[in-house]
Amino acid sequence: MKLPAPPAIRTAAASSPPPMKTVTRRLKFESELDLSFGEHVAERAYGQKLLSCIQCGTCSATCPLSHYMDYTPRKIIAMTREGFKEEVLNSLTIWLCASCYSCTVQCPRQIHITDVMYALKREAIARRFYPPKHPIPVLARAFFDRVMHDGRNTESRLLITLYLRTNPFKMLKEAFLGLHLFRSGRLSLGREHIKGIKELRAMINGPGQRKEAVPL
């Protein structure tokens, strides 16, 4: 069984001769775009500055992960601004962002790119715009559930949930590491939970909170 979403990273040197090219249409009609997408994302990312991007590429160059992305962060901003919603929300880029904030501190327009990525992740999760069993949304969801349940997160339980929901076989692969962590006292299976869980749930699930498109 193969891990579904993330494709293996191929370096240039390792690539075999390219297969026969197929013809794909690259033309984009305005009617295929969502022109309100840029402002919508800017608003949700507290990043009204998103629109002031000058496409300098500092974000892509400083990003430690950009060379594994299908679109560099700069392209994601351009595409978001121009309404390429489908491509952006389907991209691997938003899931590869590790929230290291390098782009945010170096951006000459002070665009909070990391927050833009979060906004895109939220958008993608809410609209189910990701491959089934993609581990990151699942992890986010599992994390959310854990915290709603106990108020704290027990890493071991979180990981087990993650693997059960995505790829149970991977658990076996990770088992050795788990065993080591367990032996050195770095993995506890006991559940941590808080006393004020009732109040916490009241805060999180109160009437004022924004309703997500997908019930959590």
Partner 1 sequence: MPESNGHDAPRIGFYVCHCGHNIAGIVDVAAVAKFAGALPNVVVARDYKYMCSDPGQELITTDIRELKLNRIVVASCSPLLHEHTFRVATEKGGLNPFYFQMVNIRENVSWVSDDGKAATVKACDLVRAAVRRVAVHHPLETKRVRIHPDVLIVGGGISGIHAALTLANAGKKVTLVEREPTIGGHMAMFDKTFPTLDCAACILTPKMSAVKNHPNITLWSYSEVTEVSGYVGNYTVKVKRKPRYVSEELCVGCMECIDACVYKEGKTPDEFNQGLSKRKPVYIPFPQATPQVVLIDPETCIEFKSGRCKKTCVEKCDRDAIDFKQKEEIREIRVGAIILATGFKTFDAKRIPYYGYGKFPNVYTSIEVERLVNASGPTSGELILRDGRRPKTVGIIHCVGSRDKNTNRWCSRTCCMYSLKLAHLLKEHSHAEVYNFYIDIRAAGKAYEEFYDKLLEENIHFIRGRVAEVTDWCARPEEKDKLIIRVEDTMIGVVRRVPVDMVVLAVGMEPKEDAQDVRRMFNISCSTEGFFLERHPKLAPVDTFTDGIYIAGACQGPKDIPDSVAQAGAAAAQALSLIDAGEVELEPNTAYVVEEDCSGCKSCLAICPYTAISRDEAKQKAVINEALCKGCGTCVATCPSGAIRQHLFEDEQIFSEIQGLLEADEPILTGGQA
Partner 2 sequence: MSYLYFPGCSLRSTGRAYEESILAVFRKLQIPLTELEDWNCCGATAYVSIDENRAFTLAARNLAIAERMKTNGGGDLMAPCSACYLVLEKTQHYMETDDGVKQEVTAALRRGGLDYRGTTKVRHPLDILVNDIGLDRISKAVVHPMKGMNVCCYYGCQVVRPFETFDHAAYPVTMDRLVTALGGKSIDWPMKARCCGGSLTGTIQEAGLRLNRALLKEATARGANIILTCCPLCQHNLECYQKRINRRFGESLQMPIAYFTQFLGLALGIPPRELGIQRLFVPLPETDGKRKEVPAHA
By CB under 8 A, tell whether 80 contacts partner 1.
no
By CB under 8 A, tell whether 114 contacts partner 2.
yes
d(CA 78, CA 37): 11
- Taking CB atoms within 8 Å and a gap of at least 24, the contacts of 157-166 are 157/189, 157/191, 162/135, 162/138, 165/133, 165/138, 166/3, 166/4, 166/133, 166/134, 166/135, 166/138
**DSSP-derived secondary structure letter, 57:** -
Instruction: Identify the CA nearest to 49 among candidates 124, 119, 97.
Output: 119
**């690539």: which residue's tokens?**
15
Residues 153-182 within binding reach of partner 2 (CB under 8 A): 153-156, 159, 162, 176-177, 179-181
Q: Which one of partner 1, partner 2, none is in contact with 72 (Cβ closer than 5 to 8 A by kind)?
A: partner 1
By CB under 8 A, tell whether 139 contacts partner 2.
yes
By CB under 8 A, tell whether 73 contacts partner 2.
no
Task: Give yes or no for a contact between 197 and 151, defined as CB atoms under 8 angstroms apart.
Answer: yes
Q: Helix, strand, or coil here: 147?
A: helix
Residues 59-78 within binding reach of partner 1 (CB under 8 A): 59-63, 66-67, 71-72, 74-75
| Contacts with partner 1, 23-62, as mask; x by CB under 8 A | -------------------------------xxxxxxxxx
Residues in contact with partner 2 by the rule CB under 8 A: 5-6, 8-9, 44, 46, 64-65, 68, 95-96, 98-102, 104-106, 112, 114, 118-119, 121-122, 125, 135-137, 139-141, 143-144, 146-147, 151-156, 159, 162, 176-177, 179-181, 184-188, 192, 194-196, 199-200, 202-204, 206, 208-210, 212, 216
